[in-house]
């Protein structure tokens, strides 16, 4: 064992093999495309004839199905969009590290700032309000 902090001391709980991210990203894209192009909309889900008695008593969540479907679809679209933005931001940051700040076009620097601002807005919107009344 060594005291060098740069040397890994153990294996983490999560191991992601080569190409796993590509596979995951491809699967997200496939699901998003099938939901978008599948012709199923919130109104289509609402029109489905679901007999509450077939599922037993107390299945009030069946009436929430259209709303939940839309929430899942919107959340998935958000994940796909964020992944695409992350790849774009990574490309710009790579250019910044290679060329320096002045070596990257103003348009690309502004795009990186816009991506980062969008992430901050989404994070703030999704984060539970830790200090209500102090905003």
pLDDT in tens, 47-85: 765 655 556 555 666 667 778 888 888 888 888 889 889
DSSP states of 94-123 as a string? HHHHHH-GGGS-HHHHHHHHHHHHHHHHHH
Q: 């939901």: which residue's tokens?
A: 35
Q: Kindly state the average pLDDT of the residues 10-30.
A: 72
65 and 45 Cβ atoms separated by less than 8 Å? yes
Which own/partner pairs from 29-32 qualify as long-range (CB within 8 Å, at least 24 positions apart)?
29/80, 31/76, 32/76, 32/77, 32/80
């Amino acid at each position: 064992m060594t005291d060098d902090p740069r040397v890994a001391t153990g294996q983490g709980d999560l191991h992601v093999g080569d190409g796993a991210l590509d596979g995951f990203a491809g699967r997200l894209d496939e699901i998003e495309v099938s939901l978008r192009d599948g012709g199923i909309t919130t109104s289509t889900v609402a029109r489905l004839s679901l007999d509450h008695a077939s599922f037993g008593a107390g299945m009030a969540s069946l009436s929430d199905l259209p709303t939940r479907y839309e929430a899942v679809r919107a959340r998935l679209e958000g994940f796909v969009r964020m992944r695409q933005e992350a790849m774009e931001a990574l490309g710009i940051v790579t250019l910044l590290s290679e060329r320096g700040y002045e070596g990257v076009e103003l348009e690309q620097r502004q795009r990186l700032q816009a991506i980062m601002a969008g992430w901050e807005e989404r994070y703030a919107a999704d984060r539970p309000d830790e200090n209500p009344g102090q905003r």
